[in-house]
Amino acid sequence: MKKLFLTILCVMFLLGPVYADDRACDPIWTFVAGQTYRLNVGDQAFDVQFSESYSGPAPQGICEIYDGVYIAPRMTCRYMAHGDNLISITCDGVDIPFMLMGDKLILVDPDAPFMTRKVDK
């Protein structure tokens, strides 16, 4: 009985991080992978279609950007999800970071003001 308990404990210990990684990106699996978002820039509207993702702890794939005029996508980019609801879209070598908040993908401004913790010496 002790060996069975020890075996189950070892399996849970080894597989625990795998399941924890899946849960870290669960909202992105649900609300981004395979979904279409609407991007409004000025008076122009674009549909951004994220491909399904079939493997990995965090979804990744391509996103196609349609302008509603042409049948073919105007641009094809890659997307990769990270922990804490972060997604980076890479178009022509430029990474554009977004954060999933509810049903919106919000652009993260890398030049936004920030605070750092003061360390007393």
What is the Cα 84 distance to its own chain's centre? 9
Model confidence pLDDT, tens digit, residues 22-79: 455 888 898 999 999 999 989 999 999 999 987 788 899 999 999 988 889 999 999 9
Q: In degrees to the nearest 10, what's the CA dihedral of 88, 50, 45, 105?
A: -40
pLDDT at 24: 59
Is 80 exceeded by the pLDDT of residue 13? Answer: no
| pLDDT value at 3 more than 80 | no
Sign of CA dihedral 55, 58, 64, 68: positive
- Cα–Cα distance, 20 to 9 (Å, whole number): 16
